[in-house]
Amino acid sequence: MVIRRFEAKDLDACYAISLATGFAGGDASHLYRDPRLMGHIYIAPYALLEPALTFVVEDHEGVAGFVAGTEDTATWEDRLEQDWWPSLRKTYADTSDVPPSSRTPDQRRAYMIHHPTRTPSTVVARYPAHLHMNLLPRLHRRGIGSKLFETWRAAATARRMTAFHVGVNKENTRAIPFWRSLAFEELTLDDVPEGRTLWMGRDS
């Protein structure tokens, strides 16, 4: 078992992991016609634009998990608007004309590409950095997620990051206790409408 920095050769595996964990932590491959949509949003921009803060875990079967993040969420979201979303918007049509309740999973992700939601300012003000982590089931309950996080945290603190957050799908019942075990606390956001995301933060 090896934890190491992301390399270009890992990108397809990371796309596959993003899809395989994209249904509240479970396999989303049956939901999407385009298997790369999840990865376009949740791993590829980090791997390609912020590789120094992207790590993978590899076992005898190959890359089976990743962690990725950035030190300044607000600046990152501005950068995506400049350097990442425009090319994808040429590939995926804006689905604003489809009622939200009628959109397919592919159409929902296409909408996100055209209309990305910014992280609440109250979260960013207190916990500027953020990260994502996804592991295939064969790595669960082995302490690997904690080791992967500590690898990322060491890189983050070396770059003087002092507070970071995660956004967790409220239906992902495995992820919430995992992040709690790593000292992330649920954030109370009175000025943010109720949604599907649970925001959690911790100091370094």
Kindly list the strands in the beta sheet with 129-135, ordered across the sheet, starting from the edge strand earlier in the chain.
2-5, 54-59, 62-70, 129-135, 163-169, 197-203, 185-186
Task: Classify domain 2-74+119-203 at the CATH topology level.
Answer: Aminopeptidase (3.40.630)
Comparing 36-50, 127-141, 180-194, the range with the smallest average pLDDT is 180-194
Work out the number of other CB atoms within 10 angstroms of the CB of residue 165. 25
- Indicate if the pLDDT at residue 118 is higher than 80: yes
- Indicate if the pLDDT at residue 6 is higher than 90: yes
Domain boundaries, the chain: 2-74+119-203
Question: Which residues, listed in sequence order, are joined to residue 2 by a DSSP beta bridge?
Answer: 58
Of 4, 83, 100, 12, which is closest to residue 49 (Cα–Cα)? 83
What pLDDT is recorded for position 65? 98
What pLDDT is recorded for position 158? 95
What pLDDT is recorded for position 196? 87
Q: How confident is the model at residue 192 (pLDDT cuts 50, 70, 90)?
A: confident
User: Which residues lie closer than 8 Å to 24 by C-beta, 6 or more apart?
Assistant: 169, 171, 172, 173
Q: Give the separation between CA 19 and CA 26, rounded to whole angstroms.
A: 9
